[in-house]
Amino acid sequence: SADGKKADTGGSFEIKLTGAVKGKVVTRFPPEPSGYLHIGHAKACLLNQYFAQHYEGKLLLRFDDTNPSKEKDEFVENILQDLKSLGIEADQTSYTSDHFPQLLDLAEKMIKKGFLYADDTPVEKMREERMEGINSVRRDRSVEENLKIFKEMQDGTEEGQKHCIRVKLDMQNLNKALRDPVCFRCNLTPHHRTGTTYKVYPTYDFACPFVDSFEGVTHALRTNEYKDREDQFQWILKLQREVLPKLPKVNIWEFSRLNMVNTVMSKRKLQWFVDTGKVSSWTDPRFPTVQGLLRRGLTVPALRDFILQQGASKNTTNQSWDKIWTLNKKLVDPVCARHTAVISEKMVPVELVNGPAEPQVETVLRHKKNPATGKKSMTKLNRILIDYADAKVLSKGEEVTFMSWGNCFIEDIKVNGAGEITGLVGKLNPGGDFKTTKLKLTWLADIQDNVNVRLVYYDHLITKKKIEEGDNFEDLVNTKSKVETMAIADGNCRNLQKSEIIQFERKGYFIVDEPYMKESKPIVLNYIPDGRTKGK
Ligand code: ATP
Ligand code: MG
Ligand code: MG
């Protein structure tokens, strides 16, 4: 704008990190391996990558694996794959579990200083006390007692398992995140990396400040939906530094969590969809996961543009999918090949009285304006097939254009007893001008070479735009989020590769989900939203 001030919602290119020094900035992306990466994670890691590059610093990848009940190797492997798809390469990869020995040692030192205490207050009661600002009866235990119980916890004894360790901060602070947060819990579930070596695990709140500082992170990017957590991070780090004075300080830089309309993003909720079979897997095209979105036909450049356009706005956003699909369409349209499909459930044969009696095969560009897309064959014949939806709107005597062929007069429309159109008769008009016709129709010669395709149209999994407090997402599941239509397509489609994006003319953009294998198995293509229509 005129005064040189950029709106908060501007691109990320003018944002600065406080205290950033070129060449010295270290950022990190800390996913918990409890699910595949989703579009919100994509925002977090792209911002971290952006700052690392902008300040010629480093980007660390750290798997935040502190809860064995939720974490799996499968998730680690897929997160690595997702990062690769997004073009994100970390300078260094680590696991919070690499630091378990130091974290336990740190805890022991902090107990000795009186910073931590063991508590066996039942969960419900602890919650109540936290809400009301009441100290736990265990808060003033002696160091010896705390050390003894911590040891029991590490051994996973019955007594140990009843306890957790809490950080003694401030039970009366207005910021409830400072009311003695839990910092260690017992868990006997084997850990995906450390197996049964440990029976007690640090919480993210305790591990993160230490590991960030220890690994030399200068700027920890965090989502600001729980603003109170920033103070908690700094309070905990301050106590940790009293025990280990060499630990450097860490700057926190907040950004807004990305939410998408009609979408759940929490991994717990996504896991529910997988577990209940409401989606095929974490890569289901209806999922907001990186792999789901790519299977739906989103391109990585469109995803990056979308994220970077939002930049570093601090407003929590509930973004529309239309916006991202519109960006995607702009990138896809100029480069994707054109093919033809006719809905086979109810197609209509057209007899062309002056058309070629034998198939005439021509070679044409797969995209008229883009020779880089290569060539395809096109067959003309005196018997063609068109969509029922198109046949329905034709009237006798009307002149129409058959795309990439020419004009034609509709001479007859045959109808059965039920009033359904069973066939058309047309006469090609080679001298006709396509500019004079209202309808431009897609068609396929009625030949064996056509191939069966299944067109899959996906919709939102959630019926409500924004899930509000008090809503149960399980009650808001869209039960008609997948619709399939059988069609025939030009035989060239047998050559389409997995993940190739094409346009079926007048039907929209599609991505190949299952390429051609054999005649008895249709090619599967997913409809790619274009930001304007649902496609069906
Ligand atoms: P869960 O859904 O299980 O609560 P999480 O959101 O905590 O998971 P993590 O794997 O811990 O997921 O997140 C890794 C990083 O990605 C964190 O820095 C987190 O702030 C960020 N992140 C997660 N979700 C979003 C989102 N919707 N928008 C922006 N950043 C996000
Ligand atoms: Mg987390
Ligand atoms: Mg979370």
**131 in helix, strand or coil?**
helix
Question: How confident is the model at residue 338, as a pLDDT?
Answer: 98
Instruction: Give the pocket of ligand 1 (CB within 6 Å).
Output: 30-32, 34, 40-41, 43-44, 64, 222-223, 257-258, 265-268
Tens digit of pLDDT for each residue in 336-377? Answer: 999 999 999 999 999 999 999 999 999 999 999 999 999 999
Measured by CA distance, the residue closest to atom 22 of ligand 1 is 41
* Mean pLDDT (whole number) for 161-174: 98
Query: What are 283-300's pLDDT values in tens digits?
Result: 999 999 999 999 999 999
Ligand 2 center–CA 227 separation, angstroms: 15
* DSSP state at residue 305: H
Ligand 2 midpoint to CA 95 (Å): 14
Domain 12-259 has CATH 3.40.50.620: yes
Ligand 1 atom having least distance to the Cα of 30 = 14
For the stretch 70-105, pLDDT in tens is 999 999 999 999 999 999 999 999 999 999 999 999
What is the arithmetic mean of pLDDT over 110-137?
A: 98
C-alpha dihedral, 94 to 95 to 100 to 105, nearest 10°: 40
> How many percent of the chain have pLDDT more than 90?
91
How many Å separate Cα 193 from the centre of its chain?
Answer: 26
Residue 267 CA to ligand 2 centre (angstroms): 9
User: With 80 as the cut, is the pLDDT of residue 317 above it?
Assistant: no
Looking from the CA of residue 64, the nearest atom of ligand 1 is 11
3-state helix, strand, coil in the chain (%, to 5): 30, 25, 40
pLDDT tens, residue by residue, 227-263: 789 999 999 999 999 999 999 999 999 989 999 999 9
Q: What is the mean pLDDT of the chain?
A: 95
CA distance 12 to 310: 7
Please report the atom of ligand 1 found closest to the CA of residue 268: 3
Minimal-distance CA residue to ligand 1 atom 25: 40
Kindly compute the dihedral angle of the four CA atoms of residues 403, 407, 412, 417, in this order, to the nearest 10 degrees.
Answer: 20
CA 191, CA 65: separation in Å to the nearest integer? 9
Q: Which residue's CA lies nearest to atom 10 of ligand 1?
A: 31
Question: Which pLDDT value is given to residue 371?
Answer: 96
Q: How many CB atoms lie within 10 A of CB 355?
A: 20
Q: Cβ(512)–Cβ(527) under 8 Å? A: no
Break the chain into its structural domains and give their ranges: 12-259, 345-445, 451-528
Residue 70 CA: nearest ligand 1 atom is: 3
Please give the distance, rounded to the nearest whole angstrom, from the Cα atom of residue 266 to the centre of ligand 2: 10
DSSP 68-130: TTT--HHHHHHHHHHHHHTT---SEEEEGGGGHHHHHHHHHHHHHTTSEEEE---HHHHHHHH
Q: Round to whole Å and give the CA distance between 346 and 356.
A: 24
Position 12 scores a pLDDT of 47
Going by C-alpha positions, the residue among 348, 349, 506, 353 that lies closest to residue 441 is 506
Ligand number nearest CA of 34 is 1
Pocket test residue of 27, 29, 38, 41 for ligand 1, highest count of atoms within 8 A of CB: 41
**pLDDT of 36:** 98
In this structure, whether the domain defined by 451-528 belongs to CATH 2.40.240.10 is answered with yes
Helix axes 39-54, 300-310, angle to 10 degrees: 70
Higher pLDDT, 307 or 389: 389
Identical fold for domains 12-259 and 345-445, yes or no, is: no
- Point out which residues pair with 426 in neighbouring strands: 352, 410
User: Both tokens of residue 144?
Assistant: 């010896």
Name the closest ligand to CA 76.
1
Q: Give the tokens for residue 225.
A: 């939906």
Average pLDDT over residues 139-154: 98
* Site to substitute for ligand 1 among 65, 223, 261, 282, most atoms within 8 A of C-beta: 223
Q: Which atom of ligand 1 is nearest to the CA of 270?
A: 2
Supply the Cα-derived Rg of the chain in whole angstroms: 30
When pLDDT is cut at 50, 70 and 90, the band that residue 5 belongs to is very low
Ligand 1 centroid vs 487 CA: distance in angstroms? Answer: 40
Kindly give the distance from the C-alpha atom of residue 137 to the centroid of ligand 2, in angstroms, as a whole number: 30
Please say if the pLDDT value at position 9 is more than 90: no
In the three-class reduction of DSSP (H, G, I as helix; E, B as strand; rest coil), residue 328 is classed as helix
* Residues around the ion ligand 2 (C-beta < 5 A): 32
* Ligand positioned closest to the Cα atom of 30: 1
Please list the active-site residues: 32, 257, 267
Atom 27, ligand 1: which residue's CA is nearest? 40
Rounded average pLDDT over 456-460: 98
Element (H, E) at 487: strand 482-489
Q: Given ligand 1 and candidates 12, 27, 29, 32, which is best to mutate, with the most ligand atoms within 8 Å of its CB?
A: 32
Between the CA of 41 and the centroid of ligand 1 the distance, in Å, is 6
202-226 per-position pLDDT tens digit: 999 999 999 999 999 999 999 987 7
The per-residue pLDDT for 6 is: 38
Residue 11 has pLDDT above 60, yes or no: no
Q: Which pLDDT tens digit goes with each residue over 375-390?
A: 999 999 999 999 999 9
Q: How confident is the model at residue 18 (pLDDT cuts 50, 70, 90)?
A: confident
- Of ligand 1's listed atoms, the one at least distance from the Cα of 32 is 10
Q: Find out whether 166 and 181 touch, Cβ atoms under 8 Å.
A: yes
What is the reported pLDDT for 180?
Answer: 98
Q: Identify the three-state secondary structure at position 325.
A: helix
**CATH class label, 345-445:** mainly beta
pLDDT value at residue 224: 85
The residue-averaged pLDDT of 136-155 equals 98
Report residue 4's pLDDT band, with 50, 70 and 90 as the boundaries: very low
The pLDDT of residue 58 is above 60: yes
281 DSSP 8-state letter: S
Phi then psi for 514, rounded to 5 degrees? -130, 110
| Atom 23 in ligand 1: residue holding the nearest Cα | 41
Flag whether pLDDT at 13 surpasses 80.
no
| Those residues with Cβ within 8 angstroms of residue 233's Cβ, 6 or more apart along the chain or in another chain | 205, 208, 209, 220, 222, 250, 252
The tokens 């989900």 sit on which residue?
Answer: 513
